[in-house]
Structure 1
């Protein structure tokens, strides 16, 4: 597998695949952050999480098309507005879904799995009816195009650097929200002891609703980031949902640091193996490795010591 390459070529390949893996890492982190918040806080298995991501991608596509047609002078900066709108749209849909369906299914994980799987099929068909079955691509501003040459063999795409910067910004914002705000203290109180949190005056239903919507909103931002590395279709979200659950379980549910470490490990492994093997074999080897580690450490890489 490695014999056909010189040491210099092999180093360049590993570096390029490492940077490509960082783009995948960014999408994994943004997807897994929202899923970890939902699953860690409420124990809800949200199989429609990928469709919330695709909603953000379609909102970005609409913003791109409308700006190019009606306000071309604003095209260089439209992407920032698109990300904000993607968050708002996914957050609003998350509020609606939690109010109309999820709130009746708490403490029934298998029911939430089936209900959200059905929701994912409904949303896929809705996207197919509105946008068509074909995949669509987003036109990026010129300043997001091109690459930065580190050496003669290694180039880093600018949009990949932007996605990574966005990921660290969002992760930092989530950390600040969860550990340095009143809402974050309420979320952690409900996570540790729901009955006691309600007894001291915390509206646990409101915390659940906003937490679910927040996780969905972060998935919408992941959808905006996803448009930089791939085309958008009605079923594109399902391509990432299994990997995202894998990231959350491997890192440890409700652990922000574990989610980031898990996303980095899995994305780098997949990206590197895909160059030397087929994509399916890379996924199989990564999955087998993660399953083997979970057999030895079923709680994941990081855990939180809490009382139920």
Structure 2
């Protein structure tokens, strides 16, 4: 029993980090059909914003809390700039968005290399995250607990925003039938831009959490982008509840496989497991229900 607890707790924290990375993709890919390969670089931007915030606000107890909204706004503005400058011309052409955003991702990586050291820069954890809590004899780092709490708060805020706000209803209307939504008076261009801003901003928040666990570097986005896409696809495109389950399952799988093998082999085994799952259920865990006659 004792050997099962650490991978379960660590895997839950990893799943929470993957969920933070995937929530934004659930909007931009699941809701809008845009394959944004620069999403990982928005995570990187959030991590570097956390570092720069600590340069200005030297108290890590305050700076990390200040970095969360700053990272959301900073990464959100990057996403908005990408949408206005490039993506708006490529809706309903997902393969084109994939190719273009790969180029954008490479450009952002090079910009980060020109500004920050190649080996990365550290983000200091606040004093209130420096300890551990005892869970069945295992000293669970508070940084991982913070990641889970942060993911839960972001998930609750996003779900409430989509379900109960008038803007959330406009998003659902645009996704289900863009032409009909426009004839109903919904300005779908504004919906697209705000949705992209929020999805990219969530990536920035994920970057702050990732910086506390693994530090920062210009390549950190590539570490999360593929798992995040797999989480969105396995959960069901555009389905938040499926994204939650898939993120947790992938985090647990990676943690247990890493406990038995090496870290790189654990990723291979977890991805193979996901591919096998998608062979039997290509639509993912959940699908969008429609009122079609067929």
Residues 1:103 and 1:263: Cα distance change in structure 2 (over 3 Å): same
2:107 is matched with: 122
Q: CA deviation at 1:214?
A: 0.8
Kept after mapping to 2: 8 A contact 1:47/1:120: yes
Q: Runs of 4 or more off by more than 6 Å in structure 1?
A: none
Kept after mapping to 1: 8 A contact 2:30/2:232: no
1:140 is matched with: 125
2:247 is the counterpart of 1:260: no
- Counterparts of 1:275-286 in structure 2, within 5 Å, are 275-286=259-270
Of residues 130-139 and 165-174 in structure 1, the stretch that sits farther from structure 2 once superposed is: 130-139
2:289 is matched with: 305
Q: Which of 197, 202, 212 does residue 186 from structure 2 map onto?
A: 202
Aligned length: 292
Bigger radius of gyration among the two: 1
Q: Residue by residue, what CA displacement relative to the aligned partner does 1:161-209 show, whole Å, maximum 9, x if unpaired?
A: 1111111010000000111101100000001110000000000111011
Q: CA deviation at 1:236?
A: 0.7
2:20 is matched with: 30
CA–CA distance in structure 2, aligned partners of residues 76 and 297 of structure 1 = 45
2:23 is the counterpart of 1:39: no
Q: Residue by residue, what CA displacement relative to the aligned partner does 1:215-246 show, whole Å, maximum 9, x if unpaired?
A: 00000000011112101100111011111111
Kept after mapping to 1: 8 A contact 2:15/2:252: yes
Q: Which of 89, 92, 98 does residue 104 from structure 1 map onto?
A: 89
2:53 is matched with: 63
Kept after mapping to 2: 8 A contact 1:128/1:234: yes
Q: Secondary structure at the match of 1:155?
A: strand
1:211 is matched with: 195
Kept after mapping to 2: 8 A contact 1:87/1:218: yes
Q: CA deviation at 1:307?
A: 6.3
2:98 is matched with: 113
1:6 is matched with: none
Q: Residue by residue, what CA displacement relative to the aligned partner does 1:79-101 show, whole Å, maximum 9, x if unpaired?
A: 11110100010111111110001
CA–CA distance in structure 1, aligned partners of residues 25 and 192 of structure 2 = 13
Computed over aligned residues only, the root mean square deviation of the Cα atoms, in angstroms, reads: 1.2
Q: Secondary structure at the match of 2:114?
A: helix
Q: Using structure 1 for the length normalisation, give the TM-score.
A: 0.92
1:3 is matched with: none
CA–CA distance in structure 2, aligned partners of residues 205 and 261 of structure 1 = 31
CA–CA distance in structure 1, aligned partners of residues 172 and 92 of structure 2 = 18
1:295 is matched with: 279
CA–CA distance in structure 1, aligned partners of residues 27 and 21 of structure 2 = 10
Q: Using structure 2 for the length normalisation, give the TM-score.
A: 0.97
Q: Residue by residue, what CA displacement relative to the aligned partner does 1:113-144 show, whole Å, maximum 9, x if unpaired?
A: 01000000000000110112121110111111
Q: Which of 155, 158, 175 does residue 174 from structure 1 map onto?
A: 158
Q: Secondary structure at the match of 1:148?
A: strand
